[in-house]
A and B are shown apart, each in its own frame.
Chain A
Amino acid sequence: MSTDAATVEGWLDRMARDITDALGPERQDLLIVGIHSGGVRVAQALHERLSPKEPLGSLDISFYRDDFSRIGLHPRVRRSELPFTLDDRTVLLVDDVLYSGRTVRAALNELFDYGRPARVLLAALVERAGHELPIRADFSGTRLDLEPGQQVRLNHEDLGLGLRDTRTGEMLDG
């Protein structure tokens, strides 16, 4: 399976409409926060479509992962940037793929170290079957059911999606 950029752009348009329908005028005050690295790309695309007042925020959740004791720290951690105050605001947390839910769990923990938002909503471009935590997306572009060894990859240049086998590293097409 691979999905071209035009299809992904279509999903993003629909997600933006769903978010607008759900929030109404409150959309103007929405704080959009992408999770590094794929989530930031998707968050940018949603930010362009929704044009809220505040700039885009980003989180690198490396310091909050639950597998540090097993795999250590990835040395290329980016600095989280939240150029606004979270207190009493509505936050839209954005990731490219929601799978186990562990990344979102870590992101929520990090978010609450910056302040106390009134509400947090979750948007994921792809919601993949296989949740390990009680975390679901409020807005998603598509749902996928894949084999455990397969991985969805977002192309950062044109927002196309590809499927990769994590055991062989090969891109799967068709």
Chain B
Amino acid sequence: MVEGDIQLAPDGRLRHCLTTEGMGGERITEILDLAESFAGVNDKTIKKVPLLRGHTVVNLFFESSTRTRSTFELAAKRLSADVLNIDVQRSATSKGESLLDTIANLQAMQCDLFVMRHPESGASHLVARHVDDDVHVINAGDGLHAHPTQALLDVFTMRRHKPDLSERSVAIVGDLRHSRVARSEIHALRALGVGEIRAIAPRTLLPVDLEALGVRVYEDIDAGLADVDIVVMLRLQRERMEHALLPSSSEYFAGWGLTPERLARARPDAIVMHPGPTNRGVEIDSRVADGPQSVILEQVTNGIAIRMAVMALVTGTAPQREGR
């Protein structure tokens, strides 16, 4: 069975959103188109639609997050859902309750949708396999595995700037080895038939399976950035240096940081993206992060529309429940 199959309801609709792997270009395009319509909600005086009125969304974050959690919360609220944010540091799980017990208790409170971030790869799949038929799971990042809504909002942002994605080349720069964003993004970009995907990183931060995914690998950033249309910077986590994969943040910046001089090697109308939070002076120069080619804040805005689209799609597949 393809890993992605658990995402689908028996009628083929998207029931959970766990990974972009195996999602297919048609379904991804459908989500992006729907997100365009949800982006229109921001044009209204009242930035809300009644779609998920009476539904309860639980933000269950076992890892800290500001941007992802707040955009999921805003997306749910703009869909008129009730939102419960669970702070795991203070919850029963830190008292030894198992993940599935936590989920069972929340289901007993008639929660309809779990948005889950967890440090272990596969945690949201585990939950998706155990929830009731009318409960949905959205993966907001699991270990080193996947972060599908980030990948979707990234390709949404790319498509808005470069509608002819099949003619474009994308360079992903940085710690691809530990990046669930990069993994989900590569699957989404391949499904959409993007012209070329490049990975730029020191050897210690490159996963082994990249070439099998059709990605061209560069250790030299100047060569890798030549004539690309889209540059995706990844966050460098400081613990990587503690584990001796890298010498120091200043040496990393000297070798792989995105400076205006390096960006000049890309096409003049290239866009620069970053999933955040940015480490200025480590992977990206402030002049680039705040420069005219940066679309980093647009990504944040687009995240709300994408998350509204995904929440509405999965919730709409619930079998009819009494009294609804």
Point out residues on A near B: beta carbons under 8 Å. 60, 62-64, 68-73, 75-82, 109-110, 112-115
Report yes or no: A75 in contact with B33, Cβ–Cβ below 8 A: yes
CB distance from A118 to the nearest CB of B (A): 16
Query: Contact between A69 and B318 (Cβ–Cβ < 8 Å)?
Result: yes
Determine whether the beta carbon of A114 is less than 8 Å from that of B37.
no
Q: Does B37 contact A60, Cβ atoms closer than 8 Å?
A: yes
Contact A78 B37 (CB under 8 A): yes
Number of A-B contacts (CB under 8 A): 65
A-B pairs with lowest CB-CB distance, top 6: A72-B316, A63-B49, A79-B40, A113-B46, A77-B37, A73-B316
Q: How far is the CA of A73 from the CA of B30 in the complex (A)?
A: 12
Q: Which residues of B contact A73 (CB under 8 A)?
A: 34, 51, 312-313, 316
8 Å CB contact of A113 from B30, B37, B44, B313: B44
- The answer for the CA separation of A165 and B41 in the assembled complex, in Å, is 35
Once bound together, how far apart are the Cα atoms of A113 and B78, in whole Å? 12
Main secondary structure of the interface of A (DSSP, over half): loop
What is the minimal beta-carbon distance from A153 to any residue of chain B, in angstroms?
Answer: 24
Q: How far is the CA of A76 from the CA of B36 in the complex (A)?
A: 10
Interchain CA distance A146-B50 in the complex, whole Å: 32
A4 and B43 CA atoms in complex are apart in Å by 39
Question: Does residue B39 face the partner (Cβ distance < 8 Å to A)?
Answer: yes
A80 touches B40 (CB 8 A): yes
Q: Are B40 and A75 in contact (CB under 8 A)?
A: no
Which residues of the other chain, A, contact B318 by a CB distance below 8 angstroms? 69, 72
Q: Is the CB of A76 within 8 A of B33?
A: yes
Restricting to B289-318, which residues have a CB under 8 Å from any CB of A?
312-313, 315-318
Which residues from chain B contact A110 at a C-beta distance below 8 Å? Answer: 49
Contact bitstring B79-99, A, C-beta under 8 A = 1, else 0: 000000000000000000000
- Tell me whether B39 and A77 are in contact (CB under 8 A): no
Contacts of A64 in B (CB 8 A): 49-51
Contacts of B51 in A (CB 8 A): 63-64, 68, 73
25 A/B residue pairs, CB under 8 Å, sorted by A: A63-B38, A63-B41, A63-B51, A63-B312, A64-B49, A64-B51, A68-B51, A68-B316, A69-B320, A69-B324, A72-B315, A72-B316, A72-B318, A73-B51, A73-B313, A75-B30, A75-B313, A77-B34, A79-B37, A82-B43, A110-B49, A112-B46, A113-B44, A113-B46, A115-B45
> Which chain A residues lie closer than 8 Å to B46 at the CB level?
112-114
> Could you tell me the distance between the alpha carbons of A115 and B44 in the complex, rounded to whole angstroms?
8
Contacts of B41 in A (CB 8 A): 63
> In the complex, which residues of chain A have a beta carbon less than 8 angstroms from the beta carbon of B287?
none
Complex alpha-carbon distance, A62 and B45, angstroms? 18
Report B-chain residues with C-beta under 8 Å of the C-beta of A75. 30, 33-34, 313
Quick check: is B48 within 8 A (CB to CB) of the other chain? yes
- Chain A positions within 8 Å of B130 at CB level: none
A86 to B317, CA, bound (A): 34
- 6 more contacts with CB within 8 A, not counting A63-B49, A72-B313, A72-B318, are A63-B37, A63-B41, A79-B36, A79-B37, A82-B43, A112-B46
- Most chain-B Cβ atoms within 10 A of its Cβ — which of A75, A76, A113? A75
Looking at the assembled complex, report how far the CB atom of A84 sits from the nearest CB atom of chain B, in whole angstroms: 12
B81 vs chain A, min Cβ distance (A): 12
Residue among A70, A76, A109, A113 with most chain B CB within 10 A: A113
Q: A73-B34, A73-B51, A73-B313 are in contact. Are A79 and B320 (CB under 8 A)?
A: no
In whole angstroms, how far apart are the Cα atoms of A113 and B45 in the complex? 6
A77 CA / B33 CA spacing, docked (Å)? 8
* Chain B residues with CB under 8 A of A77: 33-34, 37
The residues of B that contact A68 with a CB separation of less than 8 Å are 51, 316
| B48-A113 in contact (CB<8A) | yes
Can you name the residue of chain A whose Cβ is closest to the Cβ of B50?
A64
Which chain A residues lie closer than 8 Å to B36 at the CB level?
79
Complex: chain B residue closest to A83, CB-CB: B43
- B129 near A: Cβ within 8 Å? no
Contact A114 B49 (CB under 8 A): no
Tell me, rounded to whole Å, the shortest Cβ–Cβ distance linking A66 to chain B. 9
Kindly list chain A residues whose C-beta atoms are within 8 Å of the C-beta of B39.
79
Could you tell me the distance in whole angstroms from the C-beta of A139 to the nearest C-beta in chain B? 27
